[in-house]
Amino acid sequence: MLPSPLLMVLMMFLWPAGQQPENPWKEKVAAAVERAQAEGSISALREGLDVAWRADDWQAGLLLAGHVQAKHRDAPELRGMVARALWRAGRIPEAEKLIAEVAPDSDDRIALRVALEQSLARGRTANAAELAARLEMLTPHTSEDLYQLYGARFALGRLEELPGLLRKAEKLTDPRNGYPENFVAEAIEGVADFLAAAGPAPLNQVVQPGAAPMPPLVMLNLPSCDVFINGRGPYRMIVDTGGSIMLALDQAVADEIGLKSLGKATVRGVSGKQETGQVLVDDLQIGTIRCRRVITRTFDVRGAVMNAADGVLGTGLFWQARMTLDFTGGQLTVSPSRDEPGPGTALDVRVVSDAKLMTLVTLEDQPAIGLLDTGADAVAVAPSRLKSLFPDREIQTIAPGLAIGVGSDQMPKISLGSGVKLEIAGRQYDNYSGLGLDVLDEILSPAVGIQTDILLGMPLFRDMKSCTVDFPNCKLWIDWLPRE
């Protein structure tokens, strides 16, 4: 039997499906990188960066980005490709600094896509709207263009255009083009049908701010809330900052309430992928918080969490509001977004993909990227990062033989290595964790498009009085408990 922290780290990731099929570009990377370094020409470097991107070899992309910055820093034709490589490798500040030099009327599609993604991650919606309009003008569109425009239009509330845009993306997407098209088709599966059936009215509306009790879940010791769905309930939900912009509901509960699927889809967790239904919940009540037109996925959630809960409340559902998780008082609070700082220490955060909270931390005094995830009861490091931090130390990898979570077609692997020194929001931990989780490298990072070095689960949150996230402003604050 695995120790409890190892078991719980496998508990609950609800990500859009992101595991790629075999990528034919991977075998081309070595030759393309060698040629780019040997020749050093703009054309060879462009080809190398393109091959590394399509192969999703972020380490090769980072290597070539460094070469360009050293030899061709003033080459504007490579700026977008270098910024893209830096962003994918988790070098967020460097990527943002570089892409800030791109003019909003640029014809560089890659630069525009990266700038658009970065603007949305920082809550700069006016700038995002300008960049999206420019990218929209550059026809004919590629699948990558359309996928980025889909995210922008959703964030900007232009929902009526999304079904047609997604159907165009479906026709253009070809896995033979490599990353990211080798998983886009699965990620957008059924979404056009769902959005067409749901209609253009705003989704995930927080119509009544308020608060709800948030006790720890029995058995799993994760934060939870009781909810009423279309007046039925209560149903127990895990409160998951690593979840999504949607509610995940057990299929039996959906059947009991009478919710009908508007389209099929797929979610992927640490143990593989699982087919889901997509439904629209008209009314979701969480204590005194009230939401309307809530995006919902339905599948065997109870089986994924040992029947400890009826579903998962992805906190990205509150993407138009401010959320406070009060761990000492056991309360979830949702209030209007505002400029006033939250309690505690500000943390540099980016809200990416489906409202994942990515933050800048340091590991062994080196810059790193962390994912804040209340749906996991462990802290785990990406094996690639463990290897780079401790190149001379042996890292043992095991297949635990048991996984709790979404899917059943794959078995995650755990690495047992050295603990790391972690610094986050002014607090330092020595010899922390020592666990590695392969899905951070193989599923999560490709899906969100940023190399994620460390999963920050509930052991970290239990050291907090509260955590406050203002989603529209992309701001986060941690109020720490005093150390004993």
Model confidence pLDDT, tens digit, residues 179-200: 999 888 888 889 999 999 999 9
Residue of 304 and 356 predicted with greater confidence = 356
Cα angle: 121, vertex 123, 128; to 5 degrees: 85
pLDDT band at residue 334 under the 50/70/90 scheme = very high
Is 19's pLDDT higher than 70?
Answer: no
pTM, whole model, 2 decimals?
0.92
For 74-78, 268-272, 314-318, 477-481, which range has the lowest pLDDT when averaged over its residues? 268-272
pLDDT band at residue 411 under the 50/70/90 scheme = low
The predicted model gives 331-352 an average pLDDT of 97
Is 17's pLDDT higher than 70?
Answer: no
Please give the CATH topology (third level) of the domain spanning 4-12+342-480.
Cathepsin D, subunit A; domain 1 (2.40.70)
**Which is it for strands 427-432 and 366-372: parallel, antiparallel or unpaired?**
unpaired
pLDDT band at residue 399 under the 50/70/90 scheme = low
Three-state SS string over the chain comes to: CCCHHHHHHCCCCCEECCCCCCCCCHHHHHHHHHHHHHHCCHHHHHHHHHHHHHCCCHHHHHHHHHHHHHHCCCCHHHHHHHHHHHHHCCCHHHHHHHHCCCCCCCCCHHHHHHHHHHHHHCCCHHHHHHHHHHHHHCCCCCHHHHHHHHHHHHHCCCHHHHHHHHHHHHHHCCHHHCCCHHHHHHHCCCHHHHHHHHCCCCCCEEEECEEEECCECCCCCCEEEEEEECCEEEEEEEEECCCCCCEEEEHHHHHHHCCCCCCEEEEEECCEEEEEEEEEEEEEEECCEEEEEEEEEEECHHHHCCCCCCEEEEHHHHCCEEEEEECCCCEEEEEECCCCCCCCEEECEEEECCCEEEEEEEECCEEEEEEECCCCCCEEECHHHHHHHCCCCCCEEECCCCCCCCCCCCCCCEEECCCEEEEECCEEEEEECCEEECHHHHHHHHHHCCCCCEEECHHHHCCEEEEEEECCCCEEEEEECCCC
Domain ranges for the chain: 4-12+342-480, 107-188
Cα angle: 197, vertex 203, 205; to 5 degrees: 145
User: Best-predicted range by mean pLDDT among 60-69, 388-397, 440-449?
Assistant: 60-69
Is 286's pLDDT higher than 60?
Answer: yes
Query: Tell me, what's the pLDDT at 14?
Result: 46
The predicted model gives 302-326 an average pLDDT of 94
For 434, residues 6+ apart whose C-beta sits below 8 A from its C-beta are 381, 416, 417, 418, 419, 420
Mean pLDDT, all residues of the chain = 89
Is 281's pLDDT higher than 80?
Answer: yes
Is 4's pLDDT higher than 60?
Answer: no
